[in-house]
Amino acid sequence: MKLYHNARCQKSREALALLQEKGASPQIVLYMKEPLLPGDLETLLEKLAIPAGDLIRKKEKVWKDEFAEKELSEDELILAMIEYPQLMERPVLETVDKAIVGRPPEKVLELI
């Protein structure tokens, strides 16, 4: 399993701690340092079973400044999250066939 993690995010740190308390050792993906490739993000969205717009943090300044007033396609939303990884909701726990957004952090426990 993989945890898409932002160490600066309180909720992401809480989710990681919960997983570790339960004995899980997810592979940590520091997507802020190494943004995802478009295909990887598309696969993640498929496992989440949500459209790209539902994975975007719409309160982020870059969203408000650059994208909020635009009509964007799925592909454009994916590219926005790749160019500005801070737009991606976090944390996200991914297994072989499913993924879940850890909001609240306890939701990640549903996949272990």
d(CA 37, CA 85): 11
Per-residue pLDDT tens digits for 32-41:
999 899 999 9
Active site residue 9: yes
Q: Which of 1, 2, 9, 82 is catalytic?
A: 9
Domain 2-111 has CATH 3.40.30.10: yes
Per-residue pLDDT tens digits for 59-84:
999 999 999 999 999 999 999 999 99
Cβ 94 vs Cβ 2: under 8 Å: yes
Q: What predicted TM-score, i.e. pTM, was given to this entire model?
A: 0.94
